[in-house]
């Protein structure tokens, strides 16, 4: 199977919510809430200046997704991006789709003028961390902290 890569649209929202449900069930700090996920996806999809949601498709079915959110980095002196919500449907894993999607997303970040891509991953998700390192991401001495409002 050779996936097709592209940008998600409003018609993909239900499939994206389903994928986020899978992802948030796997992550220690997050819980799926389809209404919240749908609302956030709609915000992103309606305003491409905020970011893009990239997908892999197999005969129209969304098999994987990754979101790229844009910000400005004072350290880099320009545009930076956050990579979030990277997930491959379980039945499509171990086929190179995640790696290929990441390559596509990183290329898109470069094309958008991003100078850096950052991400967070669960501390015990060694498979994902190995893939990110293989793609050129490096561990950071920075500690992720969170304040829920």
Mean residue pLDDT of the chain comes to 94
Q: How far apart are CA 149 and CA 92, in angstroms?
A: 36
Domains identified in the chain, total number: 1
Whether 42 maps to a domain, the answer reads: yes
What are 61-83's pLDDT values in tens digits?
A: 999 999 999 999 999 999 999 99
CATH code where residue 57 lies: 3.40.630.30
Q: Is the pLDDT at 1 greater than 70, yes or no?
A: no
What are 3-13's pLDDT values in tens digits?
A: 899 999 999 99
Pairing of strands 4-7, 51-58: antiparallel
Whether 140 maps to a domain, the answer reads: no
Q: Is the pLDDT at 103 greater than 70, yes or no?
A: yes
Whether 145 maps to a domain, the answer reads: no
Q: How far apart are CA 82 and CA 1, in angstroms?
A: 28
Whether 148 maps to a domain, the answer reads: no
Q: What is the pLDDT of residue 2?
A: 79
Domain coverage including residue 87: 4-134
Residues 6+ apart with CB under 8 A from 49: 70
Whether 41 maps to a domain, the answer reads: yes
């Amino acid at each position: 199977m050779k996936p097709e890569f592209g940008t998600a649209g409003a018609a993909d929202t239900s499939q994206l919510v389903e994928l986020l449900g899978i992802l948030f069930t796997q992550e220690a700090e997050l819980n799926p809430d389809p209404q919240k996920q749908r609302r956030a996806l709609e915000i992103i999809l309606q305003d491409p200046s905020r970011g893009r949601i990239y997908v892999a498709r197999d005969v129209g079915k969304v098999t994987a997704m990754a979101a790229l959110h844009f910000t400005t980095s004072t350290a880099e002196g320009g545009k930076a991006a956050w990579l979030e919500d990277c997930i491959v449907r379980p039945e499509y894993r171990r086929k190179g789709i995640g790696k290929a999607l990441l390559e596509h997303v990183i290329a898109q970040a470069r094309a958008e003028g991003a100078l850096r891509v950052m991400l967070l991953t669960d501390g015990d998700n060694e498979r994902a961390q190995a893939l990110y390192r293989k793609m050129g991401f490096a561990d950071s001495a920075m500690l992720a902290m969170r304040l829920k409002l």
